[in-house]
Amino acid sequence: MRLLFTFAGGNGHFRPLVPLARALAAAGHTIAFTGEPMMVPIVEAAGFTAFPSGPDLGSDGKRRPLLPVDREREDADLRDGFVRRTAPRRAADVLALCADWAPDLLVCDEADLGAMIAAEKLGLPHATVLVTAAGALIRPDLVDDALNEVRAVHGLAPQRNLESAYRHLVLSPFPASFRDPRFPLPPTARSFHIPVPGPGTAPDWHVEGRPALYFTLGTIFNTESGDLFARVLAGLRDVDATCVVTVGNLIDPAEFGRQPDHIHLAKYLPQDDVLPYCDAAVTHGGSGSLLGTISHGLPMVLLPMGADQPHNGDRVTELGLGTVLDVIHATPADIRDAVSSVLGEPSYREAAARLRDEVTAYPPPEKIVPLLEGLLR
């Protein structure tokens, strides 16, 4: 079986597909990926064949000021950016790629609505992999009308309630209880667990018996964070814990000056190498960072900036997983107090442990392979 994995964004859209692709490759299937051109080297570095398609949507590396959270702006970015502008270009490119590479099945990230149109036009089944944890950003009332405009250009009938994305098989790596109950999983959904490694050789910064936390703003929003790194680092100076901070490959850690011995700055560290040794996490609330934090049963402090992060923050508050701060107005003292609270209050860790146990009970990617194979039967 030849499977084409498609995604319409950066790492947050690519990474959830990787465990499924590796499981399918191990089962003897032929795998290729297609995504925005700037992601091709990253996909190839992960060991996969990669083809460019659609426009580049990721960070161009330029530093930008921090903006207040504006949910209407994020809605418009998804509707007009991902659907009206990006989906037509991705549909055209994926159609051309399919004519040459001839896949039997497409596996699409949930934001790649253009690739799903290509699959439908070609009569190919597709699976949809969820990449937003709360499920409140990519939602029918926001997407349906814009999606139908694109479908009409391709001679496809209108659809409602995102049925074109959900009709075959929907795969979710997130705990079902985290999803916003206003947007339940469709009947075609199946949950799976992305295994996370346990502790291995302890990193140099690890101090046995001392609490530790991880702070990251991901790979896109880190360059749009204004003075946020400086404020968080100032707050962490007075936290009684080892603090591991990654600023991203486009930012020089030296610009933040000398830090106390308990703060360790780096450009990038795989979160699976850090989280097993941590007791809490401070993040922007991106779904990838959130899933890693949940999978390790860690309480969290969130500083949502955009995209689906504010929706994830809502669920973190509602489920008692941690504290959510205003990204514009949070002071170093606010950050210090929030971190100290999630490290010291057992209820946050207990809530996080419940979600960890929920998600780790799901089948691993290897058990999903027969479901994907079954789409061809």
Compute the C-alpha angle 311/316/320, nearest 5°. Answer: 150
* DSSP calls for 327-349: TTT--HHHHHHHHHHHHH-HHHH
Nearest-CA neighbor of 359 among 214, 195, 197, 198?
Answer: 195
Q: 277 and 142, same structural domain?
A: no
Residue 27 to residue 366: CA distance in whole angstroms: 8
Instruction: Answer whether residue 202 is part of any domain.
Output: no
Residue 172 near residue 185 (C-beta atoms within 8 A): yes
Burial level of 270, CB count in 10 A (0-12/13-18/19+)? exposed
Print burial letters for 200-221: b (CB count within 10 Å at least 16), e (below 16): eeebebbeeeebbbbbbbbbbb
Backbone φ and ψ for 197, nearest 5 degrees, come out as -70, 150
Query: Are residue 172 and residue 261 in the same domain, yes or no?
Result: no
Q: Is residue 54 part of a domain?
A: yes
Range with the lowest mean pLDDT among 57-66, 148-157, 160-169, 208-217?
Answer: 57-66
* 19 and 158, same domain (yes or no): yes
Q: With 0-12 CB in 10 A as exposed, 13-18 as middle and 19+ as buried, what is 18?
A: middle
The CA dihedral of 327, 328, 334, 340, to the nearest 10 degrees, is 20
Which residue range(s) make up the domain with 315?
Answer: 212-360
Q: What is the CA radius of gyration of the chain?
A: 20
Q: What is the pTM of this model?
A: 0.95
Edge-to-edge strands of the sheet including 2-6?
Answer: 49-52, 30-35, 2-6, 105-109, 126-129, 169-172, 189-191
Structural domains of the chain, count? 2
pLDDT at 225: 87
Residue 331 clears pLDDT 70, i.e. is over it: yes
Mean pLDDT score of the chain, rounded to an integer? 95
Q: Tell me the per-residue pLDDT of 114-168, one tens digit each, with 9 for 90 and over.
A: 999 999 999 999 999 999 999 999 999 999 999 999 999 999 999 999 999 999 9
Whether residue 289 sits in one domain with residue 178? no
Looking at the structure, tell me whether residues 134 and 229 fall in a common domain. no
Beta bridge partners of 302: 283, 324
- Per-residue pLDDT at 93 exceeds 80: yes
**Are 93 and 228 in a shared domain?**
no
DSSP letter at 363? Answer: P
Specify if 207 maps to a domain: no
Specify whether 260 is located in the same domain as 347.
Answer: yes
Same domain assignment for residues 35 and 103: yes
> Which CATH number goes with the domain that contains 78?
3.40.50.2000
> Both 220 and 256 in a single domain?
yes
Looking at the fold, whether 260 and 349 belong to one and the same domain comes out as yes
Please report, for residues 74, 162, 178, 246, 327, the alpha-carbon distance to residue 217 in angstroms, rounded to integers and kept in the order given.
17, 30, 21, 8, 12
Tell me whether strands 105-109 and 126-129 are parallel, antiparallel or unpaired: parallel
pLDDT level of residue 226 (50, 70, 90 thresholds):
confident
At residue 97 the predicted structure's pLDDT band, cuts being 50, 70 and 90, is very high
Residues 6 or more apart whose Cβ sits within 8 Å of residue 123: none
Question: What is the torsional sign of CA 163, 165, 169, 175?
Answer: negative
The verdict on residue 320 lying in a domain is: yes
138 with 26, same domain: the answer is yes
Tell me: do 164 and 20 sit in the same domain.
yes
Mean pLDDT of 318-347: 97
Q: Is residue 238 part of a domain?
A: yes
Question: Given this model, what pLDDT does residue 59 score?
Answer: 60
